């Protein structure tokens, strides 16, 4: 009895009305410049929600990054893609801070990383140092900001996760100072007929509603004449002060006749659910028009945990002769908001715009596994690859197969297998499965070759073909020439590239000893830092081997001098 009472007290202290009580004074900013954001938490990205904030670093790399509180380094990951060089610090209050796309680490951490890289003979590493092995204190320098990994410009990607659940939380909940007096912007408003009998403004398909700005700053939508079950969607973004970046919303609330029927926010989500973004947004619309509409109602397969309130899944059933006032409010975390009012009249009208449903010979029952033969290839979709049933468009022509198009999101990987019997061995050795991009250029897909069977796993629908890469990678020196004296050089850089299948691996030795080359795919550069090792010989023999994804390989050798 007593125990449960204590537990209850602890729970209610941590959770107020089901919301976690985020500490607002525990953390300092990771940078010592004013925080200007290029991205917010929960922002809609390709196949995922953004799990942190992107802090602008004045278009530069090398800004000092500080530990936001005392803690211990719990994980370091160095990768060509994704987070690039990333540092994770666990704090005693149960949160872990994450700093990504770093240029390099602080000297102590950098030494630890280099040691690991030389031991593993790999630039890409992932380590989990022992608790307390790499302690940091609040305000101590832990790294320098950069542009490594899947970053398209210098910035610091910063996260605060729960150490226990690894769930990322919104870093702006912790009292970080970001100047923001700007209201969210509504770019587009859409209405969706959802039930079989539903019609909106004489259309059975989604319609865009026109908007007018009212004197008080709110928006008024053109009147909706509808019948049946309908829903709404918004294309919107939020801006902070001091930058024009179009960032994501924090919160959305929908009311019907004054009653909240849908509300969600981005306090936190889990990485396990992030791909469900494709059920929140209108994926088909995105694929056609490159604009993200967030649905204000729950659609098939949407199990997202972001909802705070939901009535009838946020859908509205419109009855003839009835009038409704729908109000959607967009909010940011600083308390700025924008509101749109949509008058809805229940009236049956003849639909002029029919919803086009493509009918093919092949039907996907989303809940079941589906297997299809495509001549030389076959495709297998495990159960629940898709969120809804649909007619799938399948075409095949020799080595090229088209599996629908990218207007339908896949939640799981499916398997595409080519039968390569009859091809000569020379072809098969250099062949791979490629997905053709919009400009019909082949993108390498990781190809598993088992006998005559080539297969790949992917979540992207589209056109696939057997492509061939017979050209080995190229290697050329970037900042030196053979037989040159490089005494005052700090770095040795080479350019490496591969025309088709892409670079699978690279390795370099200096006088026969493995050296660390940092690979930056964005500028095709591998770089050696002369500080890594003491060279005891005057003449240095460099050897670099680069291999592409089908096994073509190039060896480059050169000599230079140092004193």
Task: Give the ranges where 50-197 is alpha helix by DSSP (H).
Answer: 107-120
Asked if 43 is part of the footprint of Zn ion (rule: CB under 5 A), the reply reads: no
What is the C-alpha R_g of the chain?
A: 28
Beta strands in 399-524 (DSSP E): 400-403, 414-419, 431-436, 442-444, 448-450, 453-458, 462-468, 474-477, 491-497, 503-510, 513-515, 518-520
Give least dist CB 43 to Zn ion, A. 8
CB-nearer residue toward Zn ion: 71 or 168: 168
> By CB under 5 A, which span of 152-160, 199-207, 284-292, 518-526 interacts with Zn ion?
152-160
User: Which H, E and C letters describe 343-372, residue by residue?
Assistant: EEEECCCCCCECCCCCCCCEEECCCCCEEE
Give least dist CB 98 to Zn ion, A. 10
Local structure of 90: helix, strand or coil: strand
CB-nearer residue toward Zn ion: 152 or 212: 152
Give least dist CB 113 to Zn ion, A. 21
> By CB under 5 A, which span of 140-148, 157-165, 255-263, 314-322 interacts with Zn ion?
157-165
Structure token pair of residue 339: 């509101």
Residue 271 phi/psi, 5° resolution?
Answer: -60, -30
DSSP classification of residue 12: H
> By CB under 5 A, which span of 48-56, 314-322, 408-416, 419-427 interacts with Zn ion?
48-56
Residue with nearest beta carbon to Zn ion: 157
CB-nearer residue toward Zn ion: 157 or 167: 157
Angle of CA points 109, 111, 112, to nearest 5° = 65
CB-nearer residue toward Zn ion: 247 or 447: 247
Give least dist CB 156 to Zn ion, A. 9
Give least dist CB 55 to Zn ion, A. 9
> By CB under 5 A, which span of 155-163, 196-204, 277-285, 492-500 interacts with Zn ion?
155-163
CB-nearer residue toward Zn ion: 157 or 376: 157
Give least dist CB 59 to Zn ion, A. 16
Give 115: exposed, middle or buried? Use CB within 10 Å, 0-12, 13-18, 19+: exposed
**Contact present, 374 and 400 (Cβ < 8 Å):** no
How many chain residues interact with Zn ion (CB under 5 A)?
Answer: 2
Asked if 435 is part of the footprint of Zn ion (rule: CB under 5 A), the reply reads: no
CB-nearer residue toward Zn ion: 159 or 498: 159
> Interaction with Zn ion in 369-388: which residues (CB under 5 A)?
none
Residues 6+ away with beta carbon under 8 Å from 202 = 225, 349, 350, 351, 352, 353
CB-nearer residue toward Zn ion: 54 or 267: 54
**Contact present, 475 and 505 (Cβ < 8 Å):** no
CB-nearer residue toward Zn ion: 158 or 390: 158
Give least dist CB 210 to Zn ion, A. 34
Asked if 548 is part of the footprint of Zn ion (rule: CB under 5 A), the reply reads: no
Give least dist CB 146 to Zn ion, A. 13
Give least dist CB 150 to Zn ion, A. 9
CB-nearer residue toward Zn ion: 85 or 435: 85
**Contact present, 95 and 70 (Cβ < 8 Å):** no
Give least dist CB 292 to Zn ion, A. 17
> By CB under 5 A, which span of 12-20, 151-159, 333-341, 533-541 interacts with Zn ion?
151-159
Measured distance CA(281)–CA(294) in Å, rounded: 4
CB-nearer residue toward Zn ion: 100 or 517: 100
CB-nearer residue toward Zn ion: 54 or 253: 54
CB-nearer residue toward Zn ion: 190 or 237: 237
Measured distance CA(527)–CA(530) in Å, rounded: 10
DSSP classification of residue 388: S
Give least dist CB 53 to Zn ion, A. 7
> By CB under 5 A, which span of 58-66, 118-126, 154-162, 429-437 interacts with Zn ion?
154-162
> By CB under 5 A, which span of 23-31, 46-54, 142-150, 294-302 interacts with Zn ion?
46-54
Give least dist CB 333 to Zn ion, A. 17
> By CB under 5 A, which span of 51-59, 197-205, 374-382, 384-392 interacts with Zn ion?
51-59
CB-nearer residue toward Zn ion: 161 or 404: 161
> Going residue by residue from 103 to 142, which x/- string records binding to Zn ion, judged by CB under 5 A?
----------------------------------------
CB-nearer residue toward Zn ion: 114 or 157: 157
Asked if 157 is part of the footprint of Zn ion (rule: CB under 5 A), the reply reads: yes
Measured distance CA(510)–CA(487) in Å, rounded: 15
**Alpha-carbon dihedral 230, 235, 238, 242, rounded to 10 degrees:** -160
- With CA atoms as reference, report the closest residue to 218 among 84, 338, 106: 338
Q: What is the DSSP string of 67-83?
A: -SSSEEEEEEEE-SSTT
Give least dist CB 54 to Zn ion, A. 4
> By CB under 5 A, which span of 54-62, 125-133, 217-225, 534-542 interacts with Zn ion?
54-62
- With CA atoms as reference, report the closest residue to 74 among 83, 86, 62, 59: 86
> Interaction with Zn ion in 196-255: which residues (CB under 5 A)?
none
Give 200: exposed, middle or buried? Use CB within 10 Å, 0-12, 13-18, 19+: buried
Asked if 54 is part of the footprint of Zn ion (rule: CB under 5 A), the reply reads: yes
In sign, the C-alpha dihedral spanning 91, 94, 97, 98 is: positive
Exposure string for 160-184, b = 16+ CB within 10 A, e = fewer? bbebeeebbbbbbbbebebebebbb
Give least dist CB 50 to Zn ion, A. 6
Q: Which residues bind Zn ion (CB under 5 A)?
A: 54, 157
């Amino acid at each position: 009895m007593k125990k449960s009472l204590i537990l209850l007290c602890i729970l209610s202290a941590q959770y107020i009305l089901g919301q976690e009580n985020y500490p607002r004074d525990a953390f300092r900013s990771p940078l010592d410049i004013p925080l200007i954001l290029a991205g917010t938490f929960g922002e809609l990205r390709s196949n995922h929600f953004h799990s942190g904030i992107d802090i602008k670093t004045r278009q530069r790399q090398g800004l000092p990054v500080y530990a936001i509180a005392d803690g211990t380094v719990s994980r370091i990951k160095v990768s060509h893609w994704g987070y690039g060089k990333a540092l994770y610090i666990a704090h005693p209050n149960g949160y872990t801070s994450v700093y990504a796309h770093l240029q390099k680490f602080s000297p102590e951490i950098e030494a630890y990383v280099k040691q690991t890289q030389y031991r593993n003979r790999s630039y890409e590493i992932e380590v989990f140092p022992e608790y307390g092995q790499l302690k940091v204190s609040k305000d101590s320098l832990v790294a320098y900001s950069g542009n490594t990994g899947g970053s398209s410009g210098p910035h610091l990607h910063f996260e605060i996760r729960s150490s226990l659940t690894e769930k990322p939380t919104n870093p702006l909940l912790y009292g970080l100072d970001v100047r923001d007096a700007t209201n969210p912007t509504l770019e587009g408003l859409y209405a969706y007929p959802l039930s079989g009998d539903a019609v909106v403004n004489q259309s059975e398909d989604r319609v865009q509603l026109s908007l007018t700005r009212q004197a008080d700053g709110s928006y008024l939508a053109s009147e909706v004449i509808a019948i049946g079950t309908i829903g709404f969607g918004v294309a919107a973004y939020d801006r902070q002060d001091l930058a024009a970046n179009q960032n994501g919303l924090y919160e959305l609330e929908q009311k019907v006749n004054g009653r909240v029927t849908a509300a969600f926010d981005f306090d936190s989500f889990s990485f396990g659910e992030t791909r469900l973004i494709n059920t929140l947004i209108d994926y088909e619309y995105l694929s056609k028009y490159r604009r993200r509409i967030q649905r204000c109602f729950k659609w098939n397969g949407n199990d997202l945990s972001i909802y705070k309130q939901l009535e009838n899944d946020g859908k509205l059933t419109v009855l003839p002769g009835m009038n409704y006032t729908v109000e959607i409010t967009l909010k940011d975390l600083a308390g700025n908001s924008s509101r749109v009012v949509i008058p809805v009249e229940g009236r049956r009208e003849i639909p002029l715009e029919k919803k086009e449903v493509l009918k093919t010979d092949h039907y996907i029952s989303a809940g079941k596994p589906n297997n299809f033969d495509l001549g030389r290839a076959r495709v297998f979709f495990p159960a629940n690859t898709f969120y809804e049933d649909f007619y799938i468009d399948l075409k095949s022509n020799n080595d090229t197969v088209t599996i629908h198009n990218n207007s339908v999101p896949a939640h799981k990987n499916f398997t595409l297998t080519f039968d390569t019997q009859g091809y000569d061995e020379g072809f098969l050795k250099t062949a791979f499965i490629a997905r053709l991009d919009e400009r019909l250029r082949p993108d390498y897909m990781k190809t598993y070759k088992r006998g005559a069977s080539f297969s790949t796993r992917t979540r992207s629908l589209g056109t696939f073909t057997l492509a061939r890469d017979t050209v080995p990678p190229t290697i050329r020196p970037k900042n030196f020439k053979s037989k040159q004296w490089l005494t005052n050089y700090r770095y040795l850089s080479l350019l490496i590239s591969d025309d088709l299948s892409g670079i699978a691996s690279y390795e370099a030795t200096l006088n026969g000893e493995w050296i660390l080359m940092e690979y930056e795919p964005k500028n095709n550069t591998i770089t050696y830092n002369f500080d890594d090792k003491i060279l005891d010989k005057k003449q240095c023999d460099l050897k670099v081997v680069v291999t592409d994804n089908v096994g073509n390989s190039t060896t480059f050798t050169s000599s230079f001098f140092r004193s």
